[in-house]
Each structure stands twice: as structure tokens, then as C-alpha cells.
Structure 1
């Protein structure tokens, strides 16, 4: 599979009215330019080919000569649609639900299905070089190539994608808004529960019941175990990239930097992912493999249990230095059952070889007893936990 740059697309929760207005003005302007350009091209094509015809002399059954005129302008070769490519005419794009560096995530309907539409807009023409656009398109193609073949209950279902079409429109309050031709989009199932990150933030004060913690962790572990069985390394495992359906099932999303695992670890290097979740070998620029996902899972497991962010008081540079050189890890609360704490510690071991495979992680989580209604504090220890900070978020 073709390699691409290590850039990735995020969909941060930024939805300001002013940005909406700017986006709408930009899209209207780009759409108008695209329509005018297409009209000019069509006019030029017709003028150049109106006289470009050929006469073919043939003989019918009666021996009479017949003249058949063919016009090259009518010879149109229809582009064959790829297996993952959607029919833009069946897609209705609605309001934005998230925004990121290179685009937005919208609600939508495709062929009667509720979908989320991840739209990547790489800027107006002239603002990026051809090589930059080519790299971004290669990244997009990589994501589609990875995602469209996956089928698992804990992986967000891929519906289809399209690259560089002017047929897309957004249904706004003021009517449809056309999209510029360099826009690409990925269409996936819509999951109403939103990101796991948001769910954890909502529960920062009261925390989650222990059986809920284990169930969320199991969903994520099973999804990652499946990816690894398909030789896929996600490379950006974090709670922001995990979505919840209406039954609170976790599904892995965002394969923007996912790759097929290289047989030679030296072929996979570079800082890819999100600080706070990145394994030491990734932060250090060393060769790595699927075990970098296992490390990230360990951080996510801590986050699910604590409903908090790792290293909230450290800068990015401080986190990088401390994780690599000082073996810094999030502090496990005293109230955390040893069975769960053991999973965290094994997953975020500094040595990738000592980390378990995700298949083993699934088995360890399945073996944890949650029948006692939570067990946030081991029964053999004094009750009443002061592990968590008094003030935790808004």
C-alpha cells in the first residue's frame, strides 16, 4: 500500500456562528466560480468540435452510397465508479456538527440512511501547491482504502466516499450551497452518542459505574483486536476518535492516519498520533508496530475509569520528555481495582515487546468480575476515596 505523509484530520468541537457565515460565503463564491469555469469549458469544447465531423461512405443492400456523419463531440466516455465511491445525487448534506483544520463533519442522508459526512476542504485554488494537494489526496485515498474493507460491531461502518466532485451541495437555511470541486468526503454511519471523550467529560464529577467502565473498555479492545487481526495499525487511538451509538456501544472511527502494518518495523517511523496517547517509541521517532495502539489503549482505559484527561498540568514538550525519559504515566487512583490497574500497567509498559496483544487484553477484561455493583474501592480497604481531585472541570 502506498505511503503518505503523517498528517491527520481532526474534527474539534468548534461551531461558531461567524465561522458558519464565513464558510457559507466561501462556498457560494467557490461554487459560482466553478459553474462559470464549467460553462466556459463546455462552450470552448462545443466550438472546437462543431466542425470536427467525419463522413463515412458506405453501401447499403441496394448498392446506394450512404453518408453517415459522426461528431466527435458526442463521444463521451463515462468514468467508471470505484467500488467505494458514492453517487453524489443520493447524498443530502445538512448542518455541521464538528469542525477541524481541513474540513467539517456534517449530518446527512445517503440513500435514506442517517449518515455523518466528513468533508475535507483543502483551501481555495492557489492557496496550496499542487504537491500539497496531491499529498492530501493521497492521505484521503489511504483512509478510504483502509476503512472501506472493515466490518466489525466496534468499528464505525463505512458507507462510501467521493473525491473531487462539484455535485455536492449543503442544504442550508438559505437553500442549497454548492461545493468547490476539490472537496472530498467520507460518508459513514451516524452515531447519535457522539464522541466517547464528550461522554466522559459529562461524567467527570460522578464517574462511571465499574461495569460501565469495563464494558466501554471491552468494546474498544475488541475493535482494536479486530483491526490488528486485519494488519491495520490505527496510530491515533484516543477517546475523541471513539464514537457511541444509541446503546452506548463504542465504535472506532477516524482512519485518517491508519496504515497497514509494515512487516519491517523500520518502515514505520515518525511522530503520528496525539500527545498524551502516543507511545514512547513513537514520540522518540523510533520504529514501531501495532503495540503503539496497545499503549494508547492503556491511556484510554485510565481515562475511561477516571473520566479525566491525562497530564492536565503539563505542556506538550513536558509530556514528551517525561514519557520518554522519566517513564511518566497517569497516576492510577487508589480506588481502582487491581485487576483493571494491571491491564493499564501492562498496556503502557515502556517496552513494546512486554505489552500484551489486544486479543489478550480482551481476555483480561472479560475475566474481571463486575457483579458486585462497581467495586471502585477494593472490599479489603477502607471505604471513602479521596483519590480524585476536589475540583474536576466545569
Structure 2
């Protein structure tokens, strides 16, 4: 670093900072890109080094030249030539450029791209932000973080890279692609330079995908025929119909102005393929598609096999359930009531109707008064708990349910967790304002009954993606959970549509991603992590300890995001047992025991979260008591976090909120039946027993019913009477 003198900062991103500097030896200007190693995984660092390797070998007047690079203990430093302007700054100031000004820029970009493809390098992230202008106004490509050097025998790629506004249709459809994808992006940039916006431009990512797939490009009438012809040749949705490099170089819009380099590989991408090579390319394309389909089919097959035992148990118990109709009806009513008790539909319906009445703009500014909604929810819930009036029926239900589970085949939920859930954290920067605008508009679409965006796994995956992004803030997470909740509460949604949405939510593993997001939101950042770590220093994966921020460090928006996420998890878990199984998988894979325990300890800060988490765990024990070990670990898990204490059931049973008193009674009932007595003795006491029995005389009928069921079932246990 002694060879350079830093003058100022040019920019900053998630990778680090870019500085303007000058060389001490000759005072020439350079750019220093400083990448911090701290908190980076070995995979990320490998990517940065690969970017340096690719750029080091590129020598062309229209590509930013890398001059040097070196590493220190904590940083990777890349020195490149300095460019005086950014193309986006020019566009931002002028809006659009005349054809006469655009044409020389096109010559430069075509020259740079021809050089890259001649050396079998795909840029894969062409956009105005990655184009700089030097002091002579020559355009230069930069940022090769997504670049890929294709080996001689490789003809198609499959990994999706790039920016949606400039992404080729074949990438949108997740099809194999080649250098033609760069040509589409080049066409989008030229179109934007001339028109002020890309050919397809919208704040909604899902709307953008639909436009790229189905809409025709609007061609301007004021351009020359040569310019329009050139654009149409690049912006062909079918990649096989786009101009080839021979056609591009001979096109009158650029002919004679492309700077060609003699430094090319033996098999450049700009050369037409032979018949044998074309055949090989097509075979690679088919193999890629076949491999993708096989993986998808294998995943579905594994899920079907895993769920088969539950289906068999259901079938095997069908006859016995028919012979005991009264008990069966009681069970159905009880399961239905658990969903209603969760208060999901009322809470979300209030949300959607209130905002629908106020107008779309209220989604951004409306701050829900949860205390008022909570009180309203309590009053409504008091009228909806009729199924627990008959304590005897509920005791029968509990006995029947647990008996069936104990005699049935053991669930496979505790096996192969890592194989089923592959969490990959996204550390890319996220534009919060843009995401919120997109989510707001999509919310309005869904409220208006346009559910098409949520019945496609690829599109729903885009909505879910912020849940895996460590840079997504609480507000974005709240909007994601709101959006995904709406189909379950608005009127007019058909059963067929709900079935499709439920399947998509299972396919994209929404529940595990919500658990993942909550852990990302609460995790405690560590400043020093070895570079060879298998996951980022901030990663919530099980390779790291469960370490969370203190409750006092969380802001109102953090709590609100947690409320919405666990509210949605609770509804899905009660909606279908497959969601419950995915929840169990996520808790185990992510070692989220302390996280769940922390959620149960928020009764004085955020009652809504406690109610939903308790509903989830109670339902888990009711449906799959063989997975009680998960609940046991949650209850007994210790942590260095001073906020994580032993759960005080006495305080929960004495809480002023009647719904919490009721749910705590049922939670005690099921942990008492499903967990080892040694575990129960850890927190059981005569005070707890007396408090539970006192609730049999509570002023609220549903609380009395819950306490009566719990006392009736637990009094036969040894720990119930024998208290130290």
C-alpha cells in the first residue's frame, strides 16, 4: 500500500470499498478495491480470487485494466485503472442520449464483449452500473464478479447470474444458456441509453418476469433503420434467432468500428460452431434439462416416501375411527378449534380488510396497533372455543390421539435433515426501498385476486429470497410475510387456488425459510471468523453456536417482523402436517432451540409471538409426540444470553391474557404426556400444580376447560403429587 496514496472514496458495497488513489511513483490515478476477509466464507473468498484471475488476463482498451492485486491478513486489494465517470451518472443527469452519442458507446461495448467472447469469457452481469467512461469518453466494462471462463468443452451454463432488468428470457425460464445471454443484456443497455428505460421496466419483479416472457418490445420510431435493425437483432427472445457474432460485426451500425484483438483462444465463442460441436452443445443442453428434472423428481419422490408412514397410519386407523364416531367428531372439532384458537384468520383478515378499505398507500405507512388487535382477538376468541366445553370429550381426544401416535410407525422426520434442507445464505446487497415498492404492488395484485404470482414456484422463490438474505431488514421481512399470508384470508379465493399455493409453499420450503429469517434477524454478529470457515461468520447454520442479540437490542420493526413470520408459520403448521414436518426439520438443521425458547420468553414484550410459538409447539406434540425430543431441547436448552432463562410456567398460567392462560394449560398437558418425567421434574413444583388447579375456577370458560383437561390427565403422573 506504500506505493499508493488514497485521495477519496468512490463507492461502497457489501464486498468492501473502492477508493480513488494515485501512484506515488508517477502520480497517475488508479482505483483501489478493498475487500474485507472478515466474516467471509472460503467460498466467497474463492469467488473474489477467481474474479481477480479472470480480470488479470484481460487486456483490451474497452475493459478496465487490472494493474495489480495483493492480500493482507484481513483484506484483498485490487488495483485497476481509474475511469472518470459512470455511465449511470450520465443517464441520471440527462435521462437518455441521442443516437449520435450512443453509437460510439455501442462500438466500445461491442468491442469489449467481442474480446471477452473471443476468449471464452461470459460477463453475465452487463448493466449500465458496470460501464465506466474514461477521460476520452471511451466506454469500459468493469466488475467481473459474475464472470465465467468457459472451458473448451463447455457450451452451455445453468447457474443463474445477472440483474433482472437485463436478464435474458432463457435465464428467466431457468434454461441452459450461452454467450447469447450477454448479447440480450447488451441490447437492453443500448435500448436504455436511447429511451431512458430498459425495454421491460417495472418495480414488480414478478411483473417484470411476465413482461420478459410474454410481452412484445415497443420499438421507437425516431431511430435510424440501422439502429433499429441492430437492436432487433440483439433483442430476440429466442436465443437461436439472435444475431451471431459474424452478423454483428458485419452490421452497418457497427461495421468498421469494432476494435478486434488478436489475442483469442483456439476456440472462440465468436466463431460459428461446426456441425459436430453444435450436436455436442445440443446434447449438453438436453442433459442439463434432464438433470434438473431428475433432481426435482427425486426430491418429490423422497418427500412422498417420507410422508408415506403418516398416510399409512391414517389409513390403518380409518376403521377404528369409524366405529367411534362420537370420539372422531370430537377430535375433528378439536383440531379445527386449534387453528381457530391460533387467531390467524382474524388477525390477517383485519389486516387485509383494513388496508383494502384505506387504499394501497396505507400498506407502506400504516403501523398496526397490536395491543388493540390483541384485545379484539381475545373478545372474538371467547366466542369460538365451544369445542372445549366438554372436558370428557377432550380427554378422550387426547387419549385417542396419543394412543394412535404411540402405536403407529415412527416418523422419519428426525432423519436426513441436512439432505432435505440446504440453506445458502445470500450476502448480496438488497435495495430496501425497491423491494418494499415491489412487495407493496404485489400485495395489491394479490388482494385484487391475481394469485398467479403465488402459484409458480420460481416466482414465489423470488418473493421468499429476502428471507435468506442477511442484508434484508425487518421492514422487508414484514412485507414478505404479509404478502404470503394474504391468500388465506381474502374472500373469493378458490379451494383449488389455495391447494396450488399450499403446494408451492411446500416446494419452496417457506416454513424453514421463515425460521431461517428469524435466526438471521436475531443472531449476534461476530467480528473475527477464520477465512477457512465453511459458512459466513454471520451464518445461522449449525456450524456456529446459537448466539443472539439481547431483547433490549431489538427495535419495534424487529418485533413486528417476528410477529408476522411466526403468525404465518403457525397458520401453515396447523393447515397441513407437511408444514409441521418442515418446521421440525428447520429447528434441527438450524439448531434453533434457543431461538424458540427465546420466543417463549417474550410474554412481557410481545405476547403475539408467544401465543403463536406455543400454538406451534403444542400442535407438534399433539400430532407427532415421537418428536417430543425437539420440545425437550427447547425447554432445557441453556445459553450465555442473559435473556434466555428457564421458562416460568407459573407466570404464564397467571398471565392477564386469557388466551395465554388457556394455551399454557394445553402446552403443559402435552409436554406432561409426551416428555420424560425427569424433564418434567425440572420445572414442576407444587406452586405450578396449585396454579394449574386454580385455573379450573377461572372466570373464562375456555380457560377452565383447558385446566380441567390438563389436571385430569396429569394427576396420574408420579411427579404431579410427589413434589420436593
Q: Which range, TM-score by smaller chain?
A: 0.5 to 0.7
1:358 and 1:222 map into 2 onto residues whose CA distance is: 11
Match of residue 652 from structure 2: none
Of residues 290, 302, 305, the one that matches 2:179 is: 290
1:175-215 CA distance string (max 9 Å, x none): xxxxxx322121110111x22122122221xx433221111
Which of the pair has more CA radius of gyration?
A: 2
Structure 1 303/159 Cα, relative in aligned 2: closer, same or farther at 3 Å? same
Structure 1 361/92 Cα, relative in aligned 2: closer, same or farther at 3 Å? same
Provide the TM-score with structure 1 as the length reference: 0.60
The SS at the match of 1:366 is coil
2:121 and 2:109 map into 1 onto residues whose CA distance is: 15
Match of residue 366 from structure 1: 254
In the alignment, does 2:74 pair up with 1:182? yes
Of residues 206, 212, 217, the one that matches 1:323 is: 212
In the alignment, does 2:18 pair up with 1:105? yes
In the alignment, does 2:133 pair up with 1:244? yes
Match of residue 148 from structure 2: 259
2:7 and 2:86 map into 1 onto residues whose CA distance is: 19
Could you tell me whether the CA contact under 8 Å between 1:114 and 1:190 is conserved in 2?
yes
Please state how far the C-alpha of 1:103 moved relative to its aligned partner.
Answer: 1.4
The SS at the match of 1:276 is helix
Match of residue 303 from structure 1: 192
Please state how far the C-alpha of 1:92 moved relative to its aligned partner.
Answer: 2.6
Match of residue 138 from structure 1: 46
Structure 1 308/149 Cα, relative in aligned 2: closer, same or farther at 3 Å? same
1:312 and 1:354 map into 2 onto residues whose CA distance is: 23
Could you list the runs of 5+ residues in structure 2 that have no partner in the other structure? 258-724
Structure 1 121/332 Cα, relative in aligned 2: closer, same or farther at 3 Å? farther
Match of residue 357 from structure 1: 244
Please state how far the C-alpha of 1:217 moved relative to its aligned partner.
Answer: 0.8
Match of residue 117 from structure 1: 32
Provide the TM-score with structure 2 as the length reference: 0.33
Please state how far the C-alpha of 1:159 moved relative to its aligned partner.
Answer: 0.5
1:251 and 1:305 map into 2 onto residues whose CA distance is: 18
1:103-129 CA distance string (max 9 Å, x none): 121101234331011222254xxxx3x
In the alignment, does 2:343 pair up with 1:343? no
After TM superposition, the structure 1 = structure 2 runs for residues 1-394 of structure 1, keeping only pairs within 5 Å, are 88-110=1-23, 111-112=25-26, 113-123=28-38, 128=39, 132-163=40-71, 165=72, 181-192=73-84, 194-204=85-95, 207-262=96-151, 263-266=153-156, 268-324=157-213, 326-329=214-217, 331-358=218-245, 360-364=247-251, 365-367=253-255
Please state how far the C-alpha of 1:230 moved relative to its aligned partner.
Answer: 0.8
Please state how far the C-alpha of 1:91 moved relative to its aligned partner.
Answer: 2.5
Could you tell me whether the CA contact under 8 Å between 1:162 and 1:185 is conserved in 2?
yes
Structure 1 367/231 Cα, relative in aligned 2: closer, same or farther at 3 Å? closer
The SS at the match of 2:227 is helix
Structure 1 360/199 Cα, relative in aligned 2: closer, same or farther at 3 Å? farther
Could you tell me whether the CA contact under 8 Å between 1:261 and 1:290 is conserved in 2?
no
Match of residue 175 from structure 1: none
Number of matched pairs: 253
Structure 1 100/359 Cα, relative in aligned 2: closer, same or farther at 3 Å? farther
The SS at the match of 1:344 is helix
Could you tell me whether the CA contact under 8 Å between 1:224 and 1:358 is conserved in 2?
no
Could you tell me whether the CA contact under 8 Å between 2:184 and 2:236 is conserved in 1?
yes
Please state how far the C-alpha of 1:345 moved relative to its aligned partner.
Answer: 1.5
Could you tell me whether the CA contact under 8 Å between 2:125 and 2:147 is conserved in 1?
yes
Higher relative contact order (CA 8 A, sep 6+): 1
Structure 1 158/336 Cα, relative in aligned 2: closer, same or farther at 3 Å? same
1:256-310 CA distance string (max 9 Å, x none): 11111243345x2122011110111112222111111001011011012123344
Considering fraction of residues, name the structure with more helix: 2
Could you tell me whether the CA contact under 8 Å between 1:102 and 1:122 is conserved in 2?
no
Match of residue 37 from structure 1: none
The SS at the match of 1:147 is helix
Could you tell me whether the CA contact under 8 Å between 1:225 and 1:359 is conserved in 2?
no
